Structure 1
Amino acid sequence: MYKYGFQNYFEANFTALYPEVVKSGHWINVYLTFEFSKDTMLPADLTDPSALVVFDLEGEVQDFIVHDEGVDSEYKFTDTEKKKLLDFITQQNLI
């Protein structure tokens, strides 16, 4: 993850992912909470990160959003993290 302006960059290693799928209008929202490996060091300004992955009804990804304490944060996922999240969603047949 990294903060806007490419600050506080780190690569999160997820050890467990917990999904919740919510269909709303034209969107399918997949909320993911996760646990991190011991070697993942969160920056001080990111206390309880989670993810929102937004899909359209055809199953195409529209956005990856980093939440902190349940609301949008200034952080973004790296391409590697996005791939890990999408691989999990696909393997679990959530969409």
Structure 2
Amino acid sequence: MYKYGFQNYFEADFTAFYPEVMKGEHWINVYLNFDLSAETKLPGDLYDPSALVVFDREGEVQDFIVHDEGVDCEYKFTDREKEKMLSYIKEHDLI
């Protein structure tokens, strides 16, 4: 993850995901809480990160949003983190 402006860059090592899927008329929202490895050190301004992955009704990814304590924050996911989340979602047929 990294903060806007590419500050506080780190690569999160996910060890488990806990999904919640909400299907709407136009979007499929996959909320992912996750556990991080002991080696993953969060920056001081990121307390309880989670993810919202937004898909359209055809199953195409529209956005990956970092939440902190349940709300949008200034962090973004790295490409590697996005790949891991998308792989998990597809592997478990969540959409």
Which TM-score applies when normalising by structure 1? Answer: 0.99
Kindly indicate whether residue 25 of structure 2 is the aligned counterpart of residue 25 of structure 1: yes
| Partner residue in 1 for 2:52 | 52
Alignment of 1:1-95 (within 5 A): 1-95=1-95
Segments of 4+ moved more than 2 angstroms = none
Q: Which consecutive residues of structure 1, in runs of 5 or more, have no partner in the other structure? A: none
Which TM-score applies when normalising by structure 2? Answer: 0.99
Identity level (%): 75
CA distance in 2 between partners of 1:92 and 1:19 (Å):
10
Q: Once superposed, what is the RMSD of the aligned Cα atoms?
A: 0.4
- Corresponding residue pairs, total: 95
Letter in 2 for 1:48: D
